[in-house]
Structure 1
């Protein structure tokens, strides 16, 4: 997957910007507030339908403007030229994919695969379970055709069941939604568990590049109920009185989680902040590698201000691994890291100033 052209209008400080990245490593330099991260954010928005810096309506649209506009052109793994355009007001959106109206943001995001590591990415480990569920579901969304219909089915049943619980119904009224939730939830949990099992050896080999001293990491899945002891249908039945009292569904795949475990950190001993960042990076890179193995093409890799997050040794290891993979990379920095020479020399450099990227 190769991004050939990105046009951005009215996104944060970007009045009107155009970027034509090369294959391989692309370096975007510039001072703080110049617009480097906003360019990464624009790519992320096309790949995820949301920003990594909050909701679209919270300051993403440039002040005084009614909407932001994005256009991207890329080449997929089959060599096909693809195009997408998105206009977002913060409340409403409209989009076109290959010249035709896009029926939903979901269909739009399915076409352009992006993985992003930015200063807030340590929340993948330090934050709540929602971050880790999104991580799992992004991968399944792109590589498992069964996932999206099942996810939608589960989300719809959960919404209906929670609405019913707030009205304090008789217990029997919950049975149809319990059945639907249990059926979809069991499939969803199976897909998530199977993906983590496939990801575990990829993460282990990736983590050895950054944290070999902690040993080979494992991934522990927590499905959101005691799956090893009872079916989801039985768990929902047993929790019915509690859910009626609470007014919401207290267990199920919407409460699922996972964690990374290292042999050198027994029990729940916490990672240091540095180890946390390196493990989060290993997870993101492992996900990109697993995607490449499943799809036969790398996702677009966006690395925002990576040099400020990693020391020189770990930065060199991460970039050496990525550059050697053939992935297209967008890397931002306030200035060019001195290690970007020889095999790590960028294929293209851009200087960003006052929201305008200019090739060097």
Structure 2
């Protein structure tokens, strides 16, 4: 995948700005608060339907404006694509390749962007929700049957939770929705387990370069209930009385978690801050490599403030891995990261200040 052009309007500090990106490495420098991270944030919004720094209504729209807009052109699989998004916080409208978009998932399916940013350590030391989102984003891009199953499960879960809170909670309706929840939940879990198994080799190949002290890694899925002992239908039935008391469904794929075991390092609670970041980056790049193998081209990769997230030695390891991949990479920093300063990697340089993006030669 090659992003060629990004245009922003009323996006954080930018009144209007445009950047023409190059293949390979693109470095955006500027002072803190200049807006360089906002460029990555715009691409992330188009590709994920959300920002990695909060909700659209929480400062993403330029002060005094009613809505932001972002437009992107990219090449994937020898085809050109164009997409535009106008977002007002509570409402949005978008177009993809000249057609109206009904669900943001259509944009997310077309444009694949993976972002490593200061909050990415949560993939290792954060809540299980972060790791479920990581798994489901990857599945969304490589498994066509995932999203219908996920929506089926989410609908059944919502209905069961509503019935649990109803006075009298009609048992016939509960049984019907539990049947639907169990069927879709078992299939959803199987898709996740297959994906984790497929992700394992990609991560194992990367770990010697990105976190050599780990030795080896084992990924396992905790499904969200005692799957080795009970079918989901039985777990829901046995847990119904407790769930009525709680007012929500306490077991199932919505409680699943990805567990990461490192052969030569302690569990996530025992990792240093640097090791946590390295492992999070390895997981993201492993996912990118798996996606590249499945689709025939790499997603765009974004690394925000690389110089402050990793030391010089580990920066170099990461840059070597990225250079070998051939992926398009966007990196931000107040200055060129030490790993890039050696000058042996071809980099397109951009500078961001006062709401403007200056490209190479400007």
Normalised by the size of structure 2, how large is the TM-score?
0.97
Task: Please show how residues 87-236 of structure 1 align to structure 2 within 5 Å.
Answer: 87-168=86-167, 169-236=169-236
Cα displacement string for residues 62-93 of structure 1 (whole angstroms, at most 9, x for unaligned residues): 1111000010011112x111000100000000
In structure 2, C-alpha distance between the alignment counterparts of 1:128 and 1:46, rounded to whole Å: 24
Instruction: Name 1:345's counterpart in structure 2.
Output: 346
The answer for unaligned runs of 5 or more in structure 1 is none
Normalised by the size of structure 1, how large is the TM-score?
0.97
Q: CA deviation at 1:345?
A: 2.7
In structure 2, C-alpha distance between the alignment counterparts of 1:103 and 1:266, rounded to whole Å: 46
Q: CA deviation at 1:338?
A: 4.2
Give 3-state SS (helix, strand or coil) of 1:51's partner: coil
Cα displacement string for residues 72-120 of structure 1 (whole angstroms, at most 9, x for unaligned residues): 011112x111000100000000001111101110111100000000011
Give 3-state SS (helix, strand or coil) of 2:260's partner: strand
Contact 1:36 1:352 in 2 (8 A): yes
Contact 2:125 2:268 in 1 (8 A): no
In structure 2, C-alpha distance between the alignment counterparts of 1:211 and 1:26, rounded to whole Å: 24
Cα displacement string for residues 262-318 of structure 1 (whole angstroms, at most 9, x for unaligned residues): 122356752111110000000011000000011111001011001111011110111
Give 3-state SS (helix, strand or coil) of 2:60's partner: coil
Instruction: Name 1:292's counterpart in structure 2.
Output: 292
Give 3-state SS (helix, strand or coil) of 2:149's partner: helix
Instruction: Name 1:33's counterpart in structure 2.
Output: 33
In structure 2, C-alpha distance between the alignment counterparts of 1:269 and 1:15, rounded to whole Å: 43
Q: CA deviation at 1:171?
A: 2.9
Q: CA deviation at 1:343?
A: 3.5
Give 3-state SS (helix, strand or coil) of 1:297's partner: coil
Give 3-state SS (helix, strand or coil) of 1:18's partner: strand
Give 3-state SS (helix, strand or coil) of 1:43's partner: helix
After the TM superposition, which of the residue ranges 329-338 and 67-76 deviates more from structure 2?
Answer: 329-338
Aligned residues: 358
After the TM superposition, which of the residue ranges 153-162 and 335-344 deviates more from structure 2?
Answer: 335-344
Cα displacement string for residues 23-71 of structure 1 (whole angstroms, at most 9, x for unaligned residues): 0100101110010000000000000000000111111111111000010
Instruction: Name 2:244's counterpart in structure 1.
Output: 244
Instruction: Name 2:275's counterpart in structure 1.
Output: 275
Instruction: Name 1:307's counterpart in structure 2.
Output: 307
In structure 1, C-alpha distance between the alignment counterparts of 2:72 and 2:266, rounded to whole Å: 46
Give 3-state SS (helix, strand or coil) of 1:339's partner: helix
- Residue 80 in 1 paired to residue 79 in 2? yes
Contact 1:17 1:357 in 2 (8 A): yes
In structure 1, C-alpha distance between the alignment counterparts of 2:267 and 2:316, rounded to whole Å: 31
Cα displacement string for residues 118-160 of structure 1 (whole angstroms, at most 9, x for unaligned residues): 0110011111111000000001000001101000100111111
